[in-house]
């Protein structure tokens, strides 16, 4: 379950920027093409924040849709999975431009 290590990394980043202040809200950008399983992520979050500056924080997740450019024909389109084919020519030679993000967008401290 790599979700726990991802959550622990997020907690480390937020704790560093909070500079000892309790955190009220954390906003994440999370791409739909990441391999993060959301149920496991939510469970890991609930357990990992206990006893930290984030214990009372709300978590807001902005899901970023997948986008790709076909390397064969240049078409830019939305994808749901990394192995989707080009909507114009059917090629699987794609450059993913959005949807693999995982970053802390913002945090609000008390």
User: 74-83, pLDDT tens digit by residue?
Assistant: 999 999 999 9
Measured distance CA(48)–CA(62) in Å, rounded: 20
Measured distance CA(20)–CA(63) in Å, rounded: 28
Tell me what percent of the residues of the chain surpass a pLDDT of 90: 98
The answer to the question of whether 70 is labelled as a binding residue is: yes
Tell me the CATH number at 51. Answer: 3.30.2320.80
Measured distance CA(108)–CA(24) in Å, rounded: 5
Hey, which residues does 61 pair with through a beta bridge?
A: 28
Could you tell me the residue range of the domain that residue 26 belongs to? 2-109
**Structural domain count, the chain:** 1
Measured distance CA(84)–CA(6) in Å, rounded: 26
Q: Are strands 76-79 and 66-70 parallel, antiparallel or unpaired?
A: antiparallel
The answer to the question of whether 32 is labelled as a binding residue is: no
pLDDT tens for each residue of 20-55:
999 999 999 999 999 999 999 999 999 999 999 999
pLDDT at 1: 62
The answer to the question of whether 73 is labelled as a binding residue is: yes
Measured distance CA(86)–CA(24) in Å, rounded: 42
The answer to the question of whether 2 is labelled as a binding residue is: yes
The answer to the question of whether 89 is labelled as a binding residue is: yes
Hey, which residues does 95 pair with through a beta bridge?
A: 69
pTM for the predicted model, two decimal places: 0.85
Indicate the pLDDT class of residue 105, thresholds 50, 70 and 90: very high
């Amino acid at each position: 379950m790599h979700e726990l290590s991802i959550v622990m990394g997020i907690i480390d980043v937020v704790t560093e920027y909070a500079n000892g202040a309790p955190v009220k809200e954390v906003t994440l950008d999370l791409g739909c093409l990441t391999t993060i399983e959301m149920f496991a992520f939510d469970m890991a979050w609930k357990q990992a924040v206990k006893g930290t500056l984030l214990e009372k924080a709300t978590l807001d997740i902005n899901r970023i849709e997948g986008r790709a450019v076909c390397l064969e024909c240049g078409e830019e389109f939305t994808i749901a999975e990394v192995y989707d084919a080009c909507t114009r020519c059917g090629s699987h030679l794609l450059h993913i431009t959005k949807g693999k993000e995982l970053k802390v967008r913002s945090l609000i401290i008390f």
